[in-house]
Amino acid sequence: MLPTAAKCPLQLNSHGQLRHFLSLDDLPRELLTEILDTADSFLEVGARAVKKVPLLRGKTVCNVFFENSTRTRTTFELAAQRLSADVISLNVSTSSTSKGESLFDTLRNLEAMAADMFVVRHSDSGAAHFIAEHVCPDVAIINGGDGRHAHPTQGMLDMLTIRRHKGGFENLSVAIVGDILHSRVARSDMFALRALGCRDIRVIGPKTLLPVGLEDYGMRVFTSLSEGLKDVDVVIMLRLQRERMHGGLLPSEGEFYRLYGLSSERLALAKPDAIVMHPGPINRGVEIESAVADGPQSVILNQVTYGIAVRMAVLSMTMSGQTAERQLESERAAEEQN
Protein backbone atom coordinates (compact mmCIF):
# COMPACT_ATOMS: atom_id res chain seq x y z
CA MET A 1 0.00 0.00 0.00
CA LEU A 2 1.45 3.35 -1.05
CA PRO A 3 1.48 6.28 1.38
CA THR A 4 -0.98 9.11 1.21
CA ALA A 5 0.00 12.48 -0.18
CA ALA A 6 0.09 13.79 3.39
CA LYS A 7 3.22 11.76 4.12
CA CYS A 8 5.09 12.93 1.00
CA PRO A 9 3.17 16.13 0.10
CA LEU A 10 5.55 17.29 -2.59
CA GLN A 11 6.50 14.01 -4.19
CA LEU A 12 3.22 12.11 -4.40
CA ASN A 13 -0.25 12.89 -5.67
CA SER A 14 -3.43 11.92 -3.85
CA HIS A 15 -3.26 8.41 -5.38
CA GLY A 16 0.25 7.76 -4.03
CA GLN A 17 1.81 8.15 -7.49
CA LEU A 18 4.89 10.20 -8.26
CA ARG A 19 4.14 13.89 -8.79
CA HIS A 20 7.75 15.07 -8.40
CA PHE A 21 10.92 13.02 -7.80
CA LEU A 22 13.06 14.91 -5.30
CA SER A 23 14.63 12.44 -2.86
CA LEU A 24 14.38 8.86 -1.63
CA ASP A 25 14.04 9.75 2.05
CA ASP A 26 10.31 9.14 2.49
CA LEU A 27 9.48 6.88 -0.43
CA PRO A 28 8.28 3.39 0.53
CA ARG A 29 9.67 0.07 -0.56
CA GLU A 30 6.69 -0.62 -2.83
CA LEU A 31 7.24 2.51 -4.87
CA LEU A 32 10.99 1.99 -5.14
CA THR A 33 10.34 -1.57 -6.31
CA GLU A 34 7.87 -0.26 -8.90
CA ILE A 35 10.56 2.09 -10.24
CA LEU A 36 13.01 -0.82 -10.48
CA ASP A 37 10.45 -3.06 -12.19
CA THR A 38 9.56 -0.31 -14.68
CA ALA A 39 13.24 0.33 -15.39
CA ASP A 40 13.76 -3.38 -15.99
CA SER A 41 11.06 -3.28 -18.67
CA PHE A 42 12.78 -0.31 -20.35
CA LEU A 43 16.14 -2.08 -20.62
CA GLU A 44 14.70 -4.02 -23.56
CA VAL A 45 14.05 -0.76 -25.41
CA GLY A 46 17.77 0.01 -25.45
CA ALA A 47 18.45 -3.29 -27.23
CA ARG A 48 16.05 -2.56 -30.11
CA ALA A 49 17.00 -1.30 -33.56
CA VAL A 50 14.56 1.59 -32.99
CA LYS A 51 15.09 2.71 -29.42
CA LYS A 52 11.84 4.59 -28.86
CA VAL A 53 8.45 4.20 -27.23
CA PRO A 54 5.66 6.80 -27.52
CA LEU A 55 4.87 7.28 -23.83
CA LEU A 56 5.84 10.98 -23.69
CA ARG A 57 5.04 11.96 -27.26
CA GLY A 58 3.93 15.59 -27.35
CA LYS A 59 5.54 16.35 -23.95
CA THR A 60 8.50 18.66 -23.39
CA VAL A 61 11.26 17.86 -20.90
CA CYS A 62 13.61 20.71 -19.99
CA ASN A 63 16.99 19.83 -18.47
CA VAL A 64 18.00 22.79 -16.32
CA PHE A 65 21.56 22.36 -15.07
CA PHE A 66 22.88 25.05 -12.76
CA GLU A 67 25.83 22.71 -12.15
CA ASN A 68 27.74 20.88 -14.88
CA SER A 69 27.40 17.12 -15.29
CA THR A 70 27.86 15.62 -18.73
CA ARG A 71 26.94 12.06 -17.74
CA THR A 72 23.71 12.88 -15.87
CA ARG A 73 22.53 15.42 -18.44
CA THR A 74 23.25 13.10 -21.38
CA THR A 75 21.45 10.11 -19.85
CA PHE A 76 18.41 12.25 -19.01
CA GLU A 77 18.39 13.53 -22.61
CA LEU A 78 18.56 9.98 -23.97
CA ALA A 79 15.88 8.79 -21.56
CA ALA A 80 13.47 11.56 -22.59
CA GLN A 81 14.19 11.05 -26.29
CA ARG A 82 13.60 7.30 -26.03
CA LEU A 83 10.20 8.12 -24.52
CA SER A 84 9.55 10.34 -27.58
CA ALA A 85 9.54 13.62 -25.64
CA ASP A 86 10.87 16.91 -26.99
CA VAL A 87 14.02 17.84 -25.04
CA ILE A 88 15.54 21.22 -24.21
CA SER A 89 18.85 21.34 -22.32
CA LEU A 90 19.98 24.56 -20.64
CA ASN A 91 23.28 25.15 -18.88
CA VAL A 92 22.01 27.93 -16.64
CA SER A 93 25.30 28.12 -14.73
CA THR A 94 26.83 30.02 -17.65
CA SER A 95 23.89 32.31 -18.37
CA SER A 96 21.24 34.11 -16.35
CA THR A 97 22.16 33.29 -12.75
CA SER A 98 25.76 34.35 -13.34
CA LYS A 99 24.34 37.75 -14.29
CA GLY A 100 22.53 38.13 -10.98
CA GLU A 101 19.13 36.62 -11.80
CA SER A 102 17.53 34.85 -8.84
CA LEU A 103 16.46 31.22 -8.84
CA PHE A 104 12.84 32.37 -8.60
CA ASP A 105 13.20 34.63 -11.65
CA THR A 106 14.86 31.84 -13.60
CA LEU A 107 11.99 29.52 -12.69
CA ARG A 108 9.37 31.95 -13.99
CA ASN A 109 11.24 32.34 -17.27
CA LEU A 110 11.47 28.58 -17.67
CA GLU A 111 7.75 28.19 -17.00
CA ALA A 112 7.10 30.56 -19.90
CA MET A 113 8.61 27.92 -22.20
CA ALA A 114 5.56 25.70 -21.45
CA ALA A 115 7.64 22.64 -20.57
CA ASP A 116 5.87 19.72 -18.87
CA MET A 117 8.82 18.66 -16.76
CA PHE A 118 12.06 20.17 -15.45
CA VAL A 119 15.08 18.05 -14.60
CA VAL A 120 17.02 20.28 -12.20
CA ARG A 121 20.62 20.00 -11.06
CA HIS A 122 21.91 22.59 -8.61
CA SER A 123 24.89 23.06 -6.31
CA ASP A 124 22.68 24.17 -3.39
CA SER A 125 20.99 21.56 -1.19
CA GLY A 126 17.22 21.94 -1.29
CA ALA A 127 17.08 23.76 -4.64
CA ALA A 128 14.90 21.08 -6.27
CA HIS A 129 12.47 21.20 -3.33
CA PHE A 130 12.30 24.99 -3.56
CA ILE A 131 11.43 24.81 -7.25
CA ALA A 132 8.84 22.07 -6.66
CA GLU A 133 7.18 24.22 -3.99
CA HIS A 134 6.92 27.26 -6.29
CA VAL A 135 6.46 25.81 -9.76
CA CYS A 136 3.02 25.91 -11.38
CA PRO A 137 0.91 22.82 -10.56
CA ASP A 138 1.06 21.17 -13.99
CA VAL A 139 4.87 20.97 -14.15
CA ALA A 140 6.81 18.03 -12.69
CA ILE A 141 10.26 18.43 -11.10
CA ILE A 142 12.96 15.76 -11.17
CA ASN A 143 15.99 16.24 -8.95
CA GLY A 144 19.15 15.60 -10.96
CA GLY A 145 21.31 16.24 -7.88
CA ASP A 146 21.24 19.08 -5.34
CA GLY A 147 24.29 20.03 -3.30
CA ARG A 148 25.11 17.46 -0.64
CA HIS A 149 21.46 16.48 -0.20
CA ALA A 150 20.20 13.96 -2.75
CA HIS A 151 20.73 12.34 -6.15
CA PRO A 152 17.68 10.07 -6.29
CA THR A 153 18.00 8.76 -9.85
CA GLN A 154 21.64 7.82 -9.18
CA GLY A 155 20.47 6.04 -6.05
CA MET A 156 17.88 4.09 -8.03
CA LEU A 157 20.27 3.15 -10.84
CA ASP A 158 22.63 1.86 -8.16
CA MET A 159 19.78 -0.22 -6.74
CA LEU A 160 18.93 -1.58 -10.19
CA THR A 161 22.59 -2.51 -10.69
CA ILE A 162 22.67 -4.37 -7.39
CA ARG A 163 19.36 -6.15 -8.02
CA ARG A 164 20.33 -7.30 -11.51
CA HIS A 165 23.69 -8.65 -10.34
CA LYS A 166 22.73 -9.91 -6.89
CA GLY A 167 19.02 -10.64 -7.17
CA GLY A 168 17.81 -8.94 -3.98
CA PHE A 169 18.84 -6.86 -0.99
CA GLU A 170 17.85 -8.58 2.25
CA ASN A 171 20.87 -10.87 2.61
CA LEU A 172 23.52 -8.53 1.21
CA SER A 173 26.37 -6.70 2.89
CA VAL A 174 26.97 -3.39 1.09
CA ALA A 175 29.94 -1.09 1.72
CA ILE A 176 29.92 2.59 0.73
CA VAL A 177 33.48 3.91 0.75
CA GLY A 178 35.11 7.33 0.71
CA ASP A 179 33.82 10.88 0.94
CA ILE A 180 30.53 10.17 2.71
CA LEU A 181 30.25 13.68 4.17
CA HIS A 182 29.92 15.51 0.85
CA SER A 183 28.19 12.79 -1.17
CA ARG A 184 24.53 13.13 -2.18
CA VAL A 185 24.94 9.71 -3.85
CA ALA A 186 25.88 8.10 -0.53
CA ARG A 187 22.85 9.66 1.15
CA SER A 188 20.45 8.45 -1.56
CA ASP A 189 22.02 4.98 -1.61
CA MET A 190 21.71 4.62 2.16
CA PHE A 191 18.03 5.56 2.18
CA ALA A 192 17.27 3.27 -0.75
CA LEU A 193 19.16 0.29 0.66
CA ARG A 194 17.43 0.65 4.01
CA ALA A 195 13.98 0.95 2.40
CA LEU A 196 14.62 -2.11 0.21
CA GLY A 197 15.51 -4.27 3.21
CA CYS A 198 19.31 -4.42 3.21
CA ARG A 199 20.33 -5.38 6.74
CA ASP A 200 24.08 -4.73 6.58
CA ILE A 201 24.95 -1.27 5.24
CA ARG A 202 28.52 -0.23 5.97
CA VAL A 203 30.04 3.23 5.51
CA ILE A 204 33.81 3.47 5.40
CA GLY A 205 36.02 6.54 5.44
CA PRO A 206 38.25 8.82 7.50
CA LYS A 207 36.60 10.46 10.49
CA THR A 208 36.83 13.87 8.80
CA LEU A 209 34.63 12.60 5.92
CA LEU A 210 32.01 10.77 8.00
CA PRO A 211 28.85 12.62 9.11
CA VAL A 212 27.88 12.39 12.76
CA GLY A 213 24.97 10.10 13.68
CA LEU A 214 25.10 7.53 10.88
CA GLU A 215 24.61 4.76 13.44
CA ASP A 216 21.21 6.26 14.30
CA TYR A 217 20.09 5.39 10.76
CA GLY A 218 21.20 1.78 11.09
CA MET A 219 24.57 2.15 9.35
CA ARG A 220 27.71 0.33 10.48
CA VAL A 221 30.60 2.82 10.53
CA PHE A 222 34.24 1.88 9.87
CA THR A 223 37.37 3.99 9.67
CA SER A 224 39.44 0.98 8.58
CA LEU A 225 38.94 -0.06 4.95
CA SER A 226 40.25 -3.57 5.59
CA GLU A 227 37.80 -4.18 8.43
CA GLY A 228 34.85 -2.67 6.57
CA LEU A 229 35.37 -4.64 3.35
CA LYS A 230 35.50 -8.05 5.01
CA ASP A 231 33.02 -10.42 3.32
CA VAL A 232 30.91 -7.72 1.64
CA ASP A 233 28.84 -8.45 -1.49
CA VAL A 234 28.86 -4.94 -2.96
CA VAL A 235 31.47 -2.17 -2.84
CA ILE A 236 30.30 1.33 -3.81
CA MET A 237 33.26 3.68 -4.17
CA LEU A 238 32.65 7.43 -4.08
CA ARG A 239 34.36 10.32 -5.81
CA LEU A 240 36.53 12.51 -3.62
CA GLN A 241 34.70 15.84 -3.87
CA ARG A 242 37.39 18.46 -3.46
CA GLU A 243 35.08 21.22 -4.74
CA ARG A 244 32.84 20.83 -1.67
CA MET A 245 35.60 20.59 0.92
CA HIS A 246 36.55 23.50 3.15
CA GLY A 247 39.64 23.32 5.31
CA GLY A 248 42.17 20.54 5.77
CA LEU A 249 39.92 17.47 5.74
CA LEU A 250 42.59 15.38 4.02
CA PRO A 251 46.39 15.51 4.19
CA SER A 252 46.73 14.58 0.49
CA GLU A 253 45.13 12.51 -2.25
CA GLY A 254 48.08 10.13 -2.06
CA GLU A 255 47.48 9.55 1.63
CA PHE A 256 43.77 8.99 0.96
CA TYR A 257 44.57 6.35 -1.66
CA ARG A 258 47.04 4.66 0.67
CA LEU A 259 44.38 4.27 3.37
CA TYR A 260 41.09 4.09 1.43
CA GLY A 261 41.83 3.45 -2.24
CA LEU A 262 40.38 0.21 -3.61
CA SER A 263 43.17 -2.00 -4.89
CA SER A 264 43.03 -5.61 -6.05
CA GLU A 265 44.54 -6.70 -2.73
CA ARG A 266 41.90 -4.91 -0.70
CA LEU A 267 39.06 -6.10 -2.93
CA ALA A 268 40.18 -9.66 -2.12
CA LEU A 269 38.88 -9.06 1.42
CA ALA A 270 35.33 -8.93 0.04
CA LYS A 271 33.48 -11.99 -1.14
CA PRO A 272 34.91 -13.57 -4.31
CA ASP A 273 31.82 -12.60 -6.32
CA ALA A 274 31.56 -9.06 -4.92
CA ILE A 275 30.75 -6.33 -7.42
CA VAL A 276 32.44 -2.92 -7.58
CA MET A 277 30.46 0.25 -8.33
CA HIS A 278 31.28 3.95 -8.73
CA PRO A 279 28.94 6.86 -9.66
CA GLY A 280 31.67 8.54 -11.72
CA PRO A 281 33.64 10.34 -12.78
CA ILE A 282 36.41 8.04 -11.53
CA ASN A 283 39.63 9.44 -10.12
CA ARG A 284 41.99 6.58 -10.92
CA GLY A 285 44.79 6.19 -8.43
CA VAL A 286 42.88 8.28 -5.88
CA GLU A 287 39.73 6.26 -5.08
CA ILE A 288 40.28 3.14 -7.13
CA GLU A 289 43.01 1.24 -8.93
CA SER A 290 42.63 0.95 -12.72
CA ALA A 291 42.95 -2.83 -12.51
CA VAL A 292 39.85 -2.87 -10.30
CA ALA A 293 37.86 -0.24 -12.24
CA ASP A 294 38.42 -2.18 -15.47
CA GLY A 295 38.42 -5.64 -13.89
CA PRO A 296 35.92 -8.51 -14.03
CA GLN A 297 34.16 -7.50 -10.80
CA SER A 298 33.52 -3.94 -11.96
CA VAL A 299 29.96 -3.07 -13.05
CA ILE A 300 30.65 0.65 -13.48
CA LEU A 301 29.75 0.73 -17.19
CA ASN A 302 26.62 -1.31 -16.47
CA GLN A 303 25.56 1.48 -14.12
CA VAL A 304 25.56 3.93 -17.04
CA THR A 305 23.35 1.62 -19.12
CA TYR A 306 20.97 1.04 -16.24
CA GLY A 307 20.87 4.77 -15.58
CA ILE A 308 19.08 5.45 -18.86
CA ALA A 309 16.41 2.84 -18.04
CA VAL A 310 15.93 4.19 -14.50
CA ARG A 311 15.54 7.74 -15.78
CA MET A 312 13.04 6.55 -18.38
CA ALA A 313 11.08 4.91 -15.55
CA VAL A 314 11.12 8.02 -13.36
CA LEU A 315 10.19 10.37 -16.23
CA SER A 316 7.29 8.19 -17.36
CA MET A 317 5.97 7.46 -13.86
CA THR A 318 6.17 11.11 -12.79
CA MET A 319 4.38 12.27 -15.91
CA SER A 320 1.69 9.62 -15.35
CA GLY A 321 1.26 10.83 -11.78
CA GLN A 322 0.92 14.44 -12.95
CA THR A 323 -1.65 13.43 -15.60
CA ALA A 324 -3.69 11.49 -13.05
CA GLU A 325 -3.66 14.46 -10.66
CA ARG A 326 -4.78 16.87 -13.39
CA GLN A 327 -7.57 14.49 -14.37
CA LEU A 328 -8.73 14.31 -10.76
CA GLU A 329 -8.66 18.11 -10.47
CA SER A 330 -10.74 18.42 -13.65
CA GLU A 331 -13.29 15.96 -12.31
CA ARG A 332 -13.51 17.89 -9.03
CA ALA A 333 -13.97 21.16 -10.87
CA ALA A 334 -16.75 19.64 -12.99
CA GLU A 335 -18.49 18.32 -9.86
CA GLU A 336 -18.33 21.76 -8.22
CA GLN A 337 -19.88 23.38 -11.28
CA ASN A 338 -22.72 20.88 -11.24
Among residues 154, 157, 153, 142, the alpha carbon closest in space to that of 65 is found at: 142
SS3 percent helix, strand, coil of the chain, rounded to 5, is: 45, 15, 40
Q: How would you list the strands of the sheet with 173-177, edge to edge?
A: 220-222, 200-204, 173-177, 234-237, 275-277
Other beta carbons within 10 angstroms of residue 94's beta carbon come to: 11
Among residues 219, 152, 153, 145, the alpha carbon closest in space to that of 180 is found at: 219
Cα separation, 73 vs 76, in Å, equals 5
To the nearest 10 degrees (0 to 180), the angle between helices 29-43 and 300-337 is 120
Residues 6+ apart with CB under 8 A from 5: 12, 13, 14, 16, 19
15 is in an annotated binding site: no
Asked whether 205 and 223 are in contact (CB, 8 A), the reply is: yes
166 is in an annotated binding site: no
9 is in an annotated binding site: no
To the nearest 10 degrees (0 to 180), the angle between helices 152-166 and 184-195 is 50
Residues 6+ apart with CB under 8 A from 114: 60
H-helix or E-strand spanning residue 64: strand 60-65
29 is in an annotated binding site: no
Q: Is 147 exposed, middle or buried (0-12, 13-18, 19+ CB in 10 A)?
A: middle
First to last CA, the chain: 33
154 is in an annotated binding site: yes
Strands in 155-222 per DSSP E: 173-177, 200-204, 220-222
Q: Is 137 exposed, middle or buried (0-12, 13-18, 19+ CB in 10 A)?
A: exposed
280 is in an annotated binding site: yes
**Which amino acid makes up residue 195?**
A
71 is in an annotated binding site: yes
239 is in an annotated binding site: yes
- Which residues carry a binding-site annotation? 71-72, 99, 121, 151, 154, 184, 239, 280-281
- Which residues carry a binding-site annotation for L-aspartate? 99, 184, 239
- Which residues carry a binding-site annotation for carbamoyl phosphate? 71-72, 121, 151, 154, 280-281
